Amino acid sequence: MVVKVSINGYGTIGKRIADAILKQDDMEIIGVAKKTPDFNAVIAFKSNIPIYTIPDNVKEFEKAGISVTGTIEDMIKNSDIIIDATPKKVGATYKPLYEKYGKKAIFQGGEKHSLVEVSFNALSNYNSALGKNFVRVVSCNTTALCRIIQTIRNRFEIKKVRAVIMRRGADPHEIKTGPIEALVPNPVTLPSHHGPDVNTVIPDIDITTTAVITPTTRMHLHVLSLSMQERVTRDDILNALVEAPRIIVFDAKLGFSSTASIIEWARDIGRLRYDIYEVAVFGDSITVQNDEVWLMYAVHQEAIVVPENIDAIRAMFELERDGFKSIEKTDKSLGILSRWPL
């Protein structure tokens, strides 16, 4: 079966997922929904991706030289599944339309857990999404937390997790958000929403998080502390992370000492839009003191959830029942690494 996928909300996340679907052999992109004929619409059109819009805007698209295939409702009817990547809380308003036509849908981290049957992270709970109709791929920060925590708990018993999340203030293309000169506790009270969000995927982990918004646009950075139930060594943790998919342990001796060098690496190896799908662990930060493990890692917010959406489609249509095989297939298609240098 080749699954017919459409994208509602062709922005930061939506356009990356569309490009990723073009690289799969078990799914195809049947269209994207756009409201305005901006440069993103032109790029999609020139890549032969069918464009759908609202009825009132068809003429505007045609004036810009973009042929429109139909309305957003037509797009939903023509799809097996809709990837909803509209802004936070807008996705929920579309759910009745997806239900009306009996279609499956994947929502993103800006929507509530209560909207869906399963909140998803491929490494943590692939099986829970098998055959489901409504799934939410958790946010960029929660995805990174789940990957790291699940990888370590697959080998060792964790007593509790505490994390400080330094969040990017805006995505690089955004001009209306900040801060430009401030560090903003987000929120000033504890916990931030990330810990409870991890619990929607991994219910039985004791986790508390706190977050700070920072004047940077390219990546988040997490400082993670895990109290372990059993004694572990630094090598135990290092090996677990090195051997896991979608996590790269970077070495400071090669110059990986900030988010800037991680981004530069992605540009140098030729990643489209410098997309980093992997959690980028600063290997030298991994420290074990008595029963405590500490580490720091960076998260490219625009890209990390892209492979998770591909795996979620596979699980929902049961194209692959084994999560690790789906991860392997997705990673091969997108050039996702588990170590570097190889």
Secondary structure string (H, E, C) spanning 81-115: EEEECCCCCHHHHHHHHHHHCCCEEEECCCCCHHH
End-to-end alpha-carbon separation of the chain, Å? 34
Q: CB nearer to ligand NAD: give 170 or 319.
A: 170
Size of the site for ligand NAD (CB under 6 A): 24
Site for ligand NAD in 109-138 (CB under 6 A): 109-111
Q: Out of 29, 68, 140, 207, which one is annotated catalytic?
A: 140
Q: Which residues of 206-245 are buried (b: 16+ CB within 10 A; e: fewer)?
A: ebebbbbbbebebbbbbebebebeeebeeebbbebbeebb
Smallest distance, ligand NAD to C-beta of residue 282, A: 21
Report the C-alpha gap between 308 and 235 in whole angstroms. 28
Q: Which of 193, 113, 206, 200 is nearest to 153 (CA)?
A: 206
Task: Tell whether residue 31 is a contact of ligand NAD (CB under 6 A).
Answer: no
Q: Name which position in 5, 10, 211, 296 contacts ligand NAD (CB under 6 A).
A: 10
Smallest distance, ligand NAD to C-beta of residue 160, A: 26
Distances (CA, A) of 88 to 13, 26, 82, 85, 332: 12, 29, 16, 8, 30
Closest residue to ligand NAD using C-beta atoms:
11
DSSP tag of 194: H
Task: Tell whether residue 255 is a contact of ligand NAD (CB under 6 A).
Answer: no
Q: Name which position in 44, 85, 145, 279 contacts ligand NAD (CB under 6 A).
A: 85
146 given a catalytic annotation: no
Cβ within 8 Å of residue 182, ≥6 positions away: 215
Q: CB nearer to ligand NAD: give 111 or 278.
A: 111
Task: Tell whether residue 90 is a contact of ligand NAD (CB under 6 A).
Answer: yes
Smallest distance, ligand NAD to C-beta of residue 85, A: 5
Sole window of 6-14, 146-154, 313-321, 329-337 interacting with ligand NAD (rule: CB under 6 A):
6-14
Q: Which residues of 96-109 are buried (b: 16+ CB within 10 A; e: fewer)?
A: eebeeeebbbbbbb
Q: Name which position in 3, 5, 6, 8 contacts ligand NAD (CB under 6 A).
A: 8
4 — phi, psi (to 5°)?
-90, 115
Quick note: the x/- pattern for ligand NAD over 276-315, rule CB under 6 A, is -------------------------xx--x----------
Smallest distance, ligand NAD to C-beta of residue 217, A: 10
Neighbours of 156 (CB within 10 A): 16
Catalytic residues: 140
Q: Which residues bind ligand NAD (CB under 6 A)?
A: 8-14, 33, 35, 85-88, 90, 108-111, 139-140, 171, 301-302, 305
